[in-house]
């Protein structure tokens, strides 16, 4: 079995040096992410690495995967994942995976591995962007009070919200409401009022992996690159490991190269029935074959054009009881998230999932999607680990995520 270890260092170069020193030159980088050490401490780079060793195939990983309709080309479905028996009973196919949470996380981490050089470059670019944001925050503090005619403490809170990634208009709107409801403009009065204003614009929803009295079919929709497929794997893993549900996977993403293979790989790892559907008829057949599942998760292709979004919505809404969960990335920033939410709003998604919070300069961009969609946020993802980095948060925890902890400058401004 491979040896997995995690290393932390101030930068990616130091972290990789630690990996090489501890595990040798043959070590494989499994994942790289930036981690926070609190408000006043610098962030660090966390690298998970392993020494690979050959190991026998586990019987628990037999995949029950089918491609609905005519047989797929070999390029679409790997030989190991070809249909075993189209008439197999779902009860045999849905036996829960006999893997521990750690083993499941490690297996799926391998399936989602990214080149370390690309991770290093992303970390470098993110660092440069954060430096630019800090510089902009200084300029904002210098000009906000005069431009917006805000009292001292409100000015500091406004700058703090912008630094957290909240849109300017939303930050001003929340502060105006806080000033109107607070007893005075001191920080100790404004901050609770501001939190209440943010809370009114957020709704926390029930996590999708929790047990329910009825069968659920959930399709994850959203722009390309927000992490829908990885999020699908996280939800499935939590439903299997924590809630002991029978789970089935369907992908209708036949546009991206390798997209269906990725979902089939997840199905193999978690030993869940997995289907590829290329049109409405095949989607219907796949759903028929998952009749005994407690939770059916549908992966979709990312769409960036309104017409394509409308066509996808028309396909999915033909399924009775299908729920659409919009997946958006906090790492894109508030304006981009707001634009994505506007583009998908005509689809009328029932719920929101926010991903890549760990890649965002600040999690305040979550507020942009919540305000525009007006639907509960059921989960927040802050890393690539499956399923550990997916969380169901309460409304209070969502407010904490967005507002954070203002600096001591706000308290000093209270006496102005």
The pLDDT tens digits for 380-402 are 998 888 888 999 999 999 999 99
Q: Are residue 278 and residue 255 in the same domain, yes or no?
A: yes
Domain boundary among 55, 75, 93: 55
Residue 415 included in any domain: no
Q: Are residue 330 and residue 235 in the same domain, yes or no?
A: yes
Q: Are residue 240 and residue 302 in the same domain, yes or no?
A: yes
Residue 33: which domain range? 3-55
pTM score of the predicted model: 0.66
Asked if 205 and 393 touch (Cβ cutoff 8 Å), the reply is no
Q: Are residue 362 and residue 225 in the same domain, yes or no?
A: yes
Residue 86 included in any domain: no
Q: Are residue 193 and residue 266 in the same domain, yes or no?
A: no
Q: What is the pLDDT of residue 362?
A: 79
Q: What is the pLDDT of residue 136?
A: 57
Q: What is the pLDDT of residue 235?
A: 95
**pLDDT (tens digit, 9 = 90+) per residue, 82-112?**
433 333 333 334 444 455 556 666 666 666 5
Q: What is the pLDDT of residue 233?
A: 92
3-class SS at 59? Answer: helix
The Cα 47–Cα 12 span in angstroms is: 8
pLDDT in tens, the chain (416 residues): 456 788 888 888 888 888 888 888 777 777 777 777 655 567 788 888 877 655 444 443 344 444 444 444 434 444 443 433 333 333 334 444 455 556 666 666 666 554 445 555 565 566 566 556 555 555 555 444 444 566 667 788 888 888 888 888 899 899 889 888 877 667 677 888 899 999 999 989 999 999 988 999 999 998 888 889 999 999 999 999 999 999 999 998 876 656 678 888 888 888 899 999 888 899 899 999 998 999 999 998 887 677 788 888 888 888 888 999 999 998 888 888 888 888 888 888 999 999 998 888 778 888 988 888 889 999 999 888 888 899 999 999 999 999 886 654 444 444 44
Q: Scanning the structure block, which residue is given the tokens 């020494």?
A: 51
Domain boundary among 201, 226, 256: 201
Q: What is the pLDDT of residue 102?
A: 62
Q: What is the pLDDT of residue 324?
A: 94
Q: Are residue 284 and residue 396 in the same domain, yes or no?
A: yes
The Cα 82–Cα 351 span in angstroms is: 34
Q: Are residue 321 and residue 356 in the same domain, yes or no?
A: yes
Q: Scanning the structure block, which residue is given the tokens 């609770």?
A: 192
Taking alpha carbons only, the member of 110, 369, 337, 354 closest to residue 220 is: 354
Give the list of residues 6+ apart from residue 305 with CB closer than 8 angstroms, or none.
none
Partners of 351 in beta bridges? 325
Q: Are residue 284 and residue 188 in the same domain, yes or no?
A: no
Q: Are residue 187 and residue 223 in the same domain, yes or no?
A: no
Residue 26 included in any domain: yes
Q: Are residue 168 and residue 243 in the same domain, yes or no?
A: no
Q: Are residue 266 and residue 396 in the same domain, yes or no?
A: yes
CATH number at residue 359: 3.40.50.300
Q: What is the pLDDT of residue 50?
A: 77
Asked if 219 and 324 touch (Cβ cutoff 8 Å), the reply is yes
User: How many structural domains compose the chain?
Assistant: 3
Q: What is the pLDDT of residue 131?
A: 56
Residue 97 included in any domain: no
Asked if 100 and 12 touch (Cβ cutoff 8 Å), the reply is no
Q: Are residue 329 and residue 361 in the same domain, yes or no?
A: yes
């Amino acid at each position: 079995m491979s040896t997995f270890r995690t290393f932390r260092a101030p930068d990616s170069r130091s972290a990789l040096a630690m990996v090489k020193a501890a595990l040798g030159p043959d070590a494989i980088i499994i994942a790289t992410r930036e981690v926070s050490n609190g408000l006043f401490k610098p962030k660090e780079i966390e690298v998970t690495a392993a020494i690979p060793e050959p190991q026998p195939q586990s019987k628990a990983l037999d995949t029950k995967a089918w491609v609905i309709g005519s047989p797929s080309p070999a390029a679409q479905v790997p030989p190991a994942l070809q249909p075993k028996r189209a008439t197999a009973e779902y009860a045999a196919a849905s036996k829960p995976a006999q893997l521990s949470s750690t083993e499941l996380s490690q297996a799926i981490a391998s399936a989602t591995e990214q080149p370390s050089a690309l991770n290093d470059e992303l970390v470098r670019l993110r660092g440069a962007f954060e430096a630019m944001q800090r510089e902009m925050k200084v300029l904002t503090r210098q000009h906000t009070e005069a431009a917006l005619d805000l009292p001292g403490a409100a000015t500091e809170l406004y700058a703090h919200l912008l630094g957290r990634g909240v849109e300017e208009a939303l930050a001003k709107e929340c502060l105006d409401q806080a000033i109107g409801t607070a007893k005075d403009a001191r920080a100790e009065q404004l901050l609770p009022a501001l939190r209440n204003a943010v809370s009114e614009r957020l709704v926390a929803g029930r996590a999708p992996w929790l047990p329910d009295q009825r069968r659920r079919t959930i399709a994850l929709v959203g722009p390309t690159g927000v992490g829908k497929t990885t999020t699908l794997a996280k939800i499935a893993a939590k439903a299997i490991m924590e809630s002991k549900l029978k789970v089935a996977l369907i992908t209708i993403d036949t546009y991206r190269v390798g997209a269906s293979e990725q979902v089939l790989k997840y199905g193999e790892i978690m030993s869940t029935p997995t289907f590829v559907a290329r049109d409405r008829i095949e989607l219907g057949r796949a759903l028929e074959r998952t009749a005994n599942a407690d939770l059916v998760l549908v992966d979709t292709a990312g769409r960036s054009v309104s017409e394509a979004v409308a066509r996808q919505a028309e396909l999915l809404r033909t399924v009775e009881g299908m729920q659409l969960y919009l997946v958006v990335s906090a790492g894109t920033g508030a304006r981009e998230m707001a634009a994505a939410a506007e583009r998908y709003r005509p689809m009328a998604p029932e719920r929101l999932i926010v991903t890549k919070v760990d890649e965002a300069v600040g999690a305040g961009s979550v507020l942009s999607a919540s305000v525009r969609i007006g639907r509960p946020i059921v989960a927040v993802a802050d890393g690539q680990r499956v399923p550990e980095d997916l969380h169901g948060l309460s409304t209070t925890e969502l407010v904490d995520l967005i507002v954070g902890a203002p600096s001591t400058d706000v308290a000093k401004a209270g006496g102005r």
